[in-house]
Amino acid sequence: MDPVIVMNLVFDVVILLLAVYVYGKKHGVLLPWIAVAFGLFGVSYVLTILGVSSSLILIPLRALGYLCVIAGIALHGKR
Protein backbone atom coordinates (compact mmCIF):
# COMPACT_ATOMS: atom_id res chain seq x y z
CA MET A 1 0.00 0.00 0.00
CA ASP A 2 1.35 3.39 -1.00
CA PRO A 3 1.69 5.59 2.11
CA VAL A 4 0.95 8.74 0.09
CA ILE A 5 -2.42 7.33 -1.01
CA VAL A 6 -3.25 6.32 2.57
CA MET A 7 -2.24 9.76 3.85
CA ASN A 8 -4.42 11.45 1.22
CA LEU A 9 -7.35 9.22 2.19
CA VAL A 10 -6.95 10.04 5.88
CA PHE A 11 -6.84 13.78 5.18
CA ASP A 12 -9.84 13.49 2.85
CA VAL A 13 -11.88 11.78 5.55
CA VAL A 14 -10.85 14.40 8.14
CA ILE A 15 -11.82 17.25 5.81
CA LEU A 16 -15.11 15.56 4.91
CA LEU A 17 -16.05 15.02 8.56
CA LEU A 18 -14.98 18.53 9.56
CA ALA A 19 -17.00 20.07 6.71
CA VAL A 20 -20.09 18.12 7.74
CA TYR A 21 -19.60 19.02 11.40
CA VAL A 22 -19.13 22.74 10.75
CA TYR A 23 -22.02 22.76 8.29
CA GLY A 24 -24.22 21.52 11.13
CA LYS A 25 -23.34 24.69 13.04
CA LYS A 26 -23.19 27.20 10.17
CA HIS A 27 -25.29 26.57 7.11
CA GLY A 28 -23.17 28.07 4.35
CA VAL A 29 -23.15 27.12 0.69
CA LEU A 30 -19.47 26.22 0.51
CA LEU A 31 -19.21 23.40 3.04
CA PRO A 32 -21.57 20.88 1.40
CA TRP A 33 -19.65 21.25 -1.87
CA ILE A 34 -16.34 20.76 -0.06
CA ALA A 35 -17.71 17.68 1.73
CA VAL A 36 -18.92 16.11 -1.52
CA ALA A 37 -15.64 16.93 -3.26
CA PHE A 38 -13.49 15.33 -0.61
CA GLY A 39 -15.87 12.39 -0.44
CA LEU A 40 -15.26 11.84 -4.15
CA PHE A 41 -11.50 12.18 -3.65
CA GLY A 42 -11.73 9.65 -0.82
CA VAL A 43 -13.63 7.17 -2.99
CA SER A 44 -10.96 7.48 -5.66
CA TYR A 45 -8.23 6.76 -3.09
CA VAL A 46 -10.12 3.78 -1.68
CA LEU A 47 -10.47 2.39 -5.21
CA THR A 48 -6.75 2.93 -5.76
CA ILE A 49 -5.95 1.08 -2.53
CA LEU A 50 -8.24 -1.77 -3.67
CA GLY A 51 -6.28 -2.02 -6.90
CA VAL A 52 -8.62 -0.27 -9.30
CA SER A 53 -6.30 1.63 -11.59
CA SER A 54 -8.70 2.36 -14.41
CA SER A 55 -8.37 5.96 -15.50
CA LEU A 56 -11.91 5.65 -16.89
CA ILE A 57 -13.11 5.57 -13.26
CA LEU A 58 -10.51 7.58 -11.35
CA ILE A 59 -10.21 10.60 -13.64
CA PRO A 60 -13.96 11.38 -13.70
CA LEU A 61 -14.20 10.93 -9.90
CA ARG A 62 -11.36 13.34 -9.27
CA ALA A 63 -12.56 15.77 -11.94
CA LEU A 64 -16.01 15.83 -10.31
CA GLY A 65 -14.33 16.49 -6.98
CA TYR A 66 -12.47 19.48 -8.37
CA LEU A 67 -15.63 20.74 -10.08
CA CYS A 68 -17.45 20.55 -6.74
CA VAL A 69 -14.77 22.70 -5.12
CA ILE A 70 -14.99 25.19 -7.99
CA ALA A 71 -18.79 25.29 -7.76
CA GLY A 72 -18.72 25.78 -4.00
CA ILE A 73 -16.24 28.63 -4.23
CA ALA A 74 -18.18 30.26 -7.05
CA LEU A 75 -21.46 30.04 -5.12
CA HIS A 76 -19.79 31.30 -1.97
CA GLY A 77 -18.42 34.26 -3.90
CA LYS A 78 -21.94 35.24 -4.99
CA ARG A 79 -23.11 35.68 -1.40
Cβ–Cβ under 8 Å, residues 57 and 47? yes
Q: How far apart are CA 78 and CA 56, in angstroms?
A: 33
Amino acid at residue number 59: I
Cβ–Cβ under 8 Å, residues 34 and 70? no
pLDDT at 36: 96
Domain ranges of the chain: 3-77
pLDDT tens for the chain, 79 residues: list them. Answer: 889 999 999 999 999 999 999 998 988 889 999 999 999 999 999 999 999 989 999 999 999 999 999 999 999 888 7
